[in-house]
Chain A
Amino acid sequence: MKEIKFSEAILEAIDQSMQKDKSVILMGLGITDPKSIFGTTKGLLKKYGVKRVIETPTSENAVTGIALGASIKGLKPIITHQRVEFALLSMEQIINQIAKWNFMSAGKQSVPLVIRMIIGKGWGQGPQHSQSLEVLFSHIPGLKVVAPSNASDAKSLLMTSIKEKHPVIFFEHRWLHDIKGKIENKKEVKIGKAKIIKKGKDLTIVSFSEALIQVMRIYNFLKMNNVSAEIIDLRSLRPLDEKTIIKSVSKTGKIIVIDNGWTKYGIASEIISMVVEKGFKFLKSPPKKIGIENISISSSRTLAEKTYLNSKQIIHNIFKIINKNIDKKKLNEFIKKNENDHTDIPYQDFRGPF
């Protein structure tokens, strides 16, 4: 099994899909430039030509409608936005048109398109370049929403999304792009299937995307303290794999959801309300959700730091749920060894691009 970066996995998925299916086309600003969206579209122009790899004007709203028009006639467009926020210019097309076209055409037409949105974080990007808005799209009937956390899932999920008959919003967290992972090519990841990445019996931890990486960073501390956590990577946000979550909670009786975004009215809220509705009888303690502070994100690192999740906060909340005391000295030692000093960069020597 080979190890590749998350960004390379995206590239492989697009490349292989374009190779297999001539109706797959690519649209977006920057997809043919020298940086090729953090390497995720590298070389595709050369390979597939300008007809299928379409550099676009700075016109997100129109481009989205154009992709819709092309898709209902049989093309399979992949649109790319370097930041989630740029996609907001196309919200009307996404919510009113794309999400409803299949319904409005009484099922006669469908919209097989994928919109890639990259979530930014850190380096003082501030209020308009670092929002985690997965929930906005997950709220909409007619859309599928995925947010993989590792290279293997990213590759497979993107290929599945491209093949999918209905529109998929594909979230990539910028801080995941450089993380390497083994590609398990055999299994196709289906949309709507979560994955249990660690089996355990004391509590269920549900997370996704970059937040999941933060959870995995403290997993060893849990093990050192004999906390047996079951960790679920959602992978898909809509549809949600309710079954896997409920089954886990039926075993552990405790759940914490660690969100990539704001906790109010969020993905975590949805999961917890689902668990309360469908698995109330299994719960041995109140469910908990944590995520980004419910405030806008500042540029200044001291303010941004307080907004984002950190390892200590995750650990404290987990121990509270399982009603266990933390050895402060051990915790501080662990944090010192494992946590990056700066919450505005993914690792110490990261210098962008952002």
Chain B
Amino acid sequence: MNRNTKLNLFKIVYKIRKVEETISKLYSENEMRCPVHLSIGQEAVASGVCSNLKENDEIISTHRSHAHYIAKGGNLNSMISEIYGKKSGCALGIGGSMHLQDLKKGINGSVPIVGSTIPIGVGIALFNKIKKKNNLVTIFFGEGATEEGVFHESINFAALHNLPILFVCENNLYSVYTGLEQRQPKKRDLKKICEGNSLAYYHEDGNDVIKVHNKVKEIVKRIRKNNQPTLIELSTYRWLEHCGPNWDDNLRYRPSGELKKWIKKCPLARIKKQIKNKPLISRATKQLDKEINSAFVFAKNSKFPSNKIIKNFYF
């Protein structure tokens, strides 16, 4: 991998981390008045996937969408404003953190109903096929969503119609506080589920952005060539609480030591180590810090939406 790609991956991972940490830090000011599902610890997934997507490629996401939005190049001012409920938000303040979107960047939307965006993403790919557009659709979801019926119905349909879709299953082991062992039989095999439905399946370490990038690069090339819908499962771990700005290891729903083990595999530290030229890093982080800081200032200074905007919608 060349130096530039590495640096770019570092920048995305860093940007996600820093944005999430800032949200976490400022949340107690009670001005971001909406539920937030942070991606600290999971940054390499979004970064390594989206680094292979073109601007007009499309994604759709879930309640935990900050990382996907940032990695796909979503406008940062609009994202932070949305979380602050301001009219400069990407959804005019209508949706908050759980409804991020930026159509200019192919970010179709995010919704907090588990599994519900999977078929919608398939539908976007169907449109692309019928209209002969060659944008790739990437659908992000957690492993919890693979327990919903709609996941299975959707991959079956996608395979039946050879739709160019990358399904990204971000496996962080937990659905809220409930561990995998309480939700799936020990021998459940997502690979077999996918292959049984004629989907190609891959797995990668979701905390190593270089590995994710390289694997997805190959996959995306293949999907573009033969339209075979493909699922990649990326193993990763959420550091903070499921929803909210805090640590919650004190609740003990995760085995002791598990979080520590994953923090040792910190996606940011790993990519940072790969970059030998430290001045490059400090220049990049300085610039990103500035951008992030100014996005929060922008959001705080923005106005709340006027009630009049409601008239623009059909009810």
Please classify the interface of chain B as helix (H, G, I), strand (E, B), loop, or mixed, using the class held by over half of its residues: loop
Contact indicator per residue, chain B 103-115, by CB within 8 Å of chain A (1) or not (0): 0000000011111
A302 cross-chain contacts in B, Cβ below 8 A:
85, 93, 304-307
Known A58-B145, A296-B315, A300-B305: A32·B182 in contact at CB below 8 Å: yes
- A101 within 8 A of partner (CB): no
A344 cross-chain contacts in B, Cβ below 8 A:
33
B147 cross-chain contacts in A, Cβ below 8 A:
57-59
B183 cross-chain contacts in A, Cβ below 8 A:
55-58
A279 nearest CB across to chain B (Å): 31
- B279 within 8 A of partner (CB): no
B178 close to A303 (CB less than 8 A): no
Choose one: A30, A62, A124, A354; the contact of B176 (CB below 8 Å): A30
Which residues in window 57-116 of B have CB below 8 A to A? 82, 85-87, 89, 91-99, 111-115
B96 close to A58 (CB less than 8 A): no
B241 nearest CB across to chain A (Å): 9
B148 close to A126 (CB less than 8 A): no
B98 cross-chain contacts in A, Cβ below 8 A:
125-126, 128-129, 299
- B119 within 8 A of partner (CB): no
- A141 within 8 A of partner (CB): no
The docked-state distance in angstroms from the alpha carbon of A34 to that of B114 is 21
B89 cross-chain contacts in A, Cβ below 8 A:
300
- A127 within 8 A of partner (CB): yes
B307 cross-chain contacts in A, Cβ below 8 A:
302-303, 306
- B247 within 8 A of partner (CB): no
A352 cross-chain contacts in B, Cβ below 8 A:
244
| Residue on B nearest A86 in the bound complex, by CB | B113
- A269 within 8 A of partner (CB): no
B177 close to A35 (CB less than 8 A): yes
A85 cross-chain contacts in B, Cβ below 8 A:
113
Of listed A123, A300, A344, residue having the most chain B CB within 10 A: A300
Known A59-B148, A299-B85, A303-B305: A124·B178 in contact at CB below 8 Å: no
- B184 within 8 A of partner (CB): yes
B253 cross-chain contacts in A, Cβ below 8 A:
33-34
B111 close to A295 (CB less than 8 A): no
| Residue on A nearest B145 in the bound complex, by CB | A58
B273 nearest CB across to chain A (Å): 35
The docked-state distance in angstroms from the alpha carbon of A60 to that of B115 is 11
B177 close to A30 (CB less than 8 A): yes
Of listed A88, A129, A296, A298, residue having the most chain B CB within 10 A: A298
- A228 within 8 A of partner (CB): no
Known A58-B148, A89-B148: A30·B96 in contact at CB below 8 Å: no
The docked-state distance in angstroms from the alpha carbon of A299 to that of B97 is 9
The docked-state distance in angstroms from the alpha carbon of A41 to that of B114 is 23
- B130 within 8 A of partner (CB): no
- A139 within 8 A of partner (CB): no
The docked-state distance in angstroms from the alpha carbon of A33 to that of B112 is 20
The docked-state distance in angstroms from the alpha carbon of A299 to that of B82 is 9
Chain B interface (Cβ within 8 Å of chain A)? Answer: 30, 33-35, 82, 85-87, 89, 91-99, 111-115, 144-145, 147-150, 175-178, 182-184, 243-244, 251-253, 304-307, 309-310, 313, 315
- Beyond A126-B99, A127-B95, A301-B85, 5 additional contacts (C-beta under 8 Å) are A35-B177, A57-B147, A58-B147, A128-B98, A303-B305
